[in-house]
Amino acid sequence: MRIESVEPSDAVLVEAAQGGHLDSFGALYQRYHNPIVALAYAGLGDKHAAEDAAQEAFAIACRDLDSLRNREKFGAWLGGICRNVTRQMLRQQSRPAPPPDNSPDDGTQRQEQSDAVRRAVWKLPEPERELIVMRYFDGFSQARISEVLDITPAAVNGRLVRAKRKIAQFLKRDGFGS
Amino acid sequence: MGSVHDDNWLDTALDEAIGSSDTQPDFEQWKANHPEAVQTLAARRPPQQRPPATKTIKVHHLWAKLAAAAAVAIAAIVGVTQLMPPDASDTPAVARTLTGPMTHTFDDGSAVTLGANAGIRTYGAADKRGFEHLAGVIDVTVAKGKGEFIVTTPYGDVKALGTEFTLDLVDGTTVNTKERIELLAVEVTEGSVEVSNDKGASVLAEQQKLVVEKDRAPYRMNADGNMPARLRERMDAMIAAMEAGDDAAYTANYNSNYLYKLVKGQIEYDANRFGGTAEDAQRLQQALGHIASVEALTEVFQQSVNLEGVTNVYLREIEVSADGKHATARLVTGETNGRLRGSSPQWHYFDNDWWQVDD
């Protein structure tokens, strides 16, 4: 009788990693890599730069793990580190308002639509943009999103609905859809 | 283009615009790129926890694939001491969190093998036998004649005297019913254990298993006085079929003769004997009315059953109706991909036996 894939909680992994168990940090890395890339992408608008930011965020987390007292809040703590890294990168680039990366210009209606959707997403206030990008980047669970953004699952739902309504309005104003 | 106010259209458009299926975590690459961070973390490891031997890890992987019953045999073959870091017995007792896969041997000779995602916390006090189970699947072998050995878990304590048992701590959400599952499954390989919490206690003998859920008394089907003996046998057969992935054995729990008559329109729909609605029964008649024999229907039924990927079945509770003729089991199944799934199989007594009528 066994389930080998039932996952230990973040708190268990953090405690083991704080004791020097590298594989436990590896498990946290596997668990949070993509959500953190998504969070960085919401800030930077560039997937390659977002990957770099996520790598740096994990390096800082690895070095500073001892400072995390509330081990259950690892996701939110890592998310905070990621936002700091992202802001530093933006400052270095002197780019206050990042535009999203666009698809290669092949002139198709589908590509125009995707570009318009991205523009609409990046018009959202940062909290709503983070939520939308995390939700649609790789289909993360509501629980994972609420952990990284440190908001309740109910708040995730409410914010998601409001953000999508705004995106629809932006798109309509831009002449997309009916 | 569809309407921007159409939620489905917007979901698809956002998926296309934002989605990124090519982002994959690569921890090995990250480690290679950040040696200083890795070194900082690894330096926190006490000497006795540093990975001492490749041999140990290989043995653990092999061990982890074996059933709990093989634990003693393996220990005898490779020697328990080989499974341990060489200096562990020389270090003073300190509280430690251990994560699998690995095997830890206590000073008294008791051993615990942690599965890939399991975690435990050992006690700092050298005179206290046992440990805290934090997550995942563990196999425990308790040294005989050394006194009480207690494993504490979030949902109850497991007390053992010279025995072998497996603990499976499950914490997750079912993918279908979105129900939070927090339970401990206990299975005894040898000897006996007592499982208790503030709601109740149950003693488990060899080859018996039970489930204890958060804030509930331990539940063991065989100790359930409300359960007809024949229903227990049938439930055992259902669970065994599910865990073995045996579609034919699972299908045998259903009354094929009754279903054949229903499909052929030779018998009236009865909600107690057929788990679906009257409309479901009609659809079944339309789709399978041409079936020529009970055997042919059974074959079709077997083909529709899919038990692939089921690794564990946790029986949480069985509720028998006041008239003693209907039973509902509450199950959670674990799958190889780590997902949990909730279900409530229905059983009914008719044609002189208990039959599964719905899954």
The CA-based dihedral angle spanning residues B346, B349, B353, B359, taken in that order and rounded to the nearest 10 degrees: -10
- Contact partners, residue B231, CB within 8 Å, separation at least 6: B318, B320, B327, B347, B349, B354
* Contact call for A33 and B16, based on CB within 8 A: no
Residue B286, both tokens: 């339309």
Q: CA of B86: how far to CAs of B249, B269, B334, in Å?
A: 48, 68, 36
Closest to A89 measured CA to CA, from A50, A133, A123, A38: A50
* Chain B: closest CA distance from residue A64 (Å): 9
Per-residue pLDDT of chain B (359 residues; tens, 9 = 90+): 567 667 788 889 899 999 887 788 999 999 998 988 898 888 877 654 443 322 222 222 222 322 232 333 323 223 222 223 333 333 445 678 888 778 888 888 888 888 877 889 888 777 788 999 998 889 888 888 788 899 999 899 999 877 888 899 998 888 888 888 999 999 888 888 989 999 988 888 888 889 999 889 998 887 777 788 899 889 888 988 888 888 888 998 999 989 899 998 899 888 888 888 888 888 888 888 888 889 888 888 888 888 888 888 999 888 888 888 999 999 999 887 778 889 999 999 999 999 999 88
A vs B, Cβ pairs < 8 A, gives: 207
pTM, 2 dp: 0.51
In a domain, A81, yes or no: yes
Is the Cβ–Cβ distance between A136 and B15 less than 8 Å?
A: yes
* Contact call for B37 and A33, based on CB within 8 A: no
Is the Cβ–Cβ distance between B249 and B234 less than 8 Å?
A: no
CA distance B332 to B343: 6
Number of Cβ within a 10 Å radius of residue B342: 18
Q: CA of B29: how far to CAs of A35, B304, B345, in Å?
A: 18, 44, 46
Give the CA diameter of chain B.
Answer: 76
In a domain, A87, yes or no: yes
Residue B30, both tokens: 């990250």
Quote the ipTM score: 0.86
Instruction: Name which of B16, B38, B187 is nearest A1 (Cβ-Cβ).
Output: B187
* Chain A: closest CA distance from residue B118 (Å): 6
- State the total domains in chain A: 1
Q: What are phi and psi of B92, to 5 degrees?
A: -70, 155
Tokens 């390989």 correspond to B189
In a domain, A178, yes or no: no
* Contact call for B172 and A6, based on CB within 8 A: yes
Closest to B251 measured CA to CA, from B294, B309, B310: B294
Closest to A101 measured CA to CA, from A44, A52, A164, A54: A44
CA distance B297 to B299: 5
A100 cis-preceded (ω within 30 degrees of 0): no
CA distance A114 to B292: 54
Residue B40, both tokens: 């900082």
Q: Which domain holds residue A21?
A: 10-173
Closest B-chain CA to A173: B4
CA distance B285 to B236: 31
Q: Testing the interface with A: which of B39, B50, B99, B212 to mutate, by most A Cβ within 10 A?
A: B99
Closest A-chain CA to B40: A63
Q: Are strands B97-99 and B209-213 parallel, antiparallel or unpaired?
A: unpaired
* Chain B: closest CA distance from residue A97 (Å): 18
Closest to A3 measured CA to CA, from B115, B219, B66: B115
In a domain, A3, yes or no: no
Instruction: Name which of B18, B25, B337 is nearest A136 (Cβ-Cβ).
Output: B18
Is the Cβ–Cβ distance between B315 and B297 less than 8 Å?
A: no
> Which structural domains are found in chain B, ordered by start?
47-219 (2.60.120.1440), 229-358 (3.10.450)
Closest A-chain CA to B99: A16
Instruction: Tell me which DSSP letter residue B93 carries.
Output: P
* Contact call for B30 and A117, based on CB within 8 A: no
Distance from chain centroid for Cα B100: 17
- CATH number, domain of A48, equals 1.10.1740.10
Instruction: Tell me which DSSP letter residue B174 carries.
Output: B
* Contact call for A19 and B49, based on CB within 8 A: yes
